[in-house]
Amino acid sequence: MMERKKFSQFKNKALENPEVREEYEKLQQKYELKTKLISLRKMNGLTQEELAKKLHTQKSNISRLENVNSKISPRLSTIEEYAKAMGYNLEINFIPQN
């Protein structure tokens, strides 16, 4: 708990730096999408292999897509198909910064 508080304080301080903040938000966003993809799949009780089959591709490709560390920026259509395979549509919004 003490650790958590300390870190939290440090984080807030660091985020006052615009460059750090920007970098952080960029990561947050990437993390968000990948995270959403993964939880969407798990919510539907699918393994990577099962989803891969639905999409006529390989489990290794699903893994790559879901990998938070990969530098790949997927095509919109790829995300769309992933979502469709589980019964979802994509919605894209533009949010003003600050």
Partner DNA sequence: TATAAAGTTCTCATATATGATAACTTTAGT
Partner DNA sequence: ACTAAAGTTATCATATATGAGAACTTTATA
Q: Can you tell me the distance from the alpha carbon of 14 to that of 42, in angstroms, rounded to the nearest whole number?
A: 34
One-letter amino acid at 43 equals M
Instruction: Report how far apart, in Å, the C-alpha atoms of 98 and of each of 8, 29, 31, 95 are.
Output: 21, 15, 20, 9
Question: Which one of 36, 42, 49, 60 is in contact with a copy of itself (CB under 8 A)?
Answer: 36
Binding status of residue 35 toward DNA by CB under 7 A: no
* Coil, helix or strand at residue 85: coil
Total residue length of the chain = 98
Binding status of residue 97 toward a copy of itself by CB under 8 A: yes
Q: Of the listed pieces 8-16, 19-27, 53-61, 87-95, which binds DNA according to CB under 7 A?
A: 53-61
How many residues of this chain interact with DNA, rule: CB under 7 A?
Answer: 23
Within 13 Å and on the Cβ side, how many CA atoms surround 33? 24
Question: Which one of 66, 83, 84, 86 is in contact with DNA (CB under 7 A)?
Answer: 66
Question: Which one of 15, 44, 74, 84 is in contact with DNA (CB under 7 A)?
Answer: 74
Positions touching DNA (CB under 7 A) are 47-49, 55-61, 63-67, 69, 71-75, 77-78
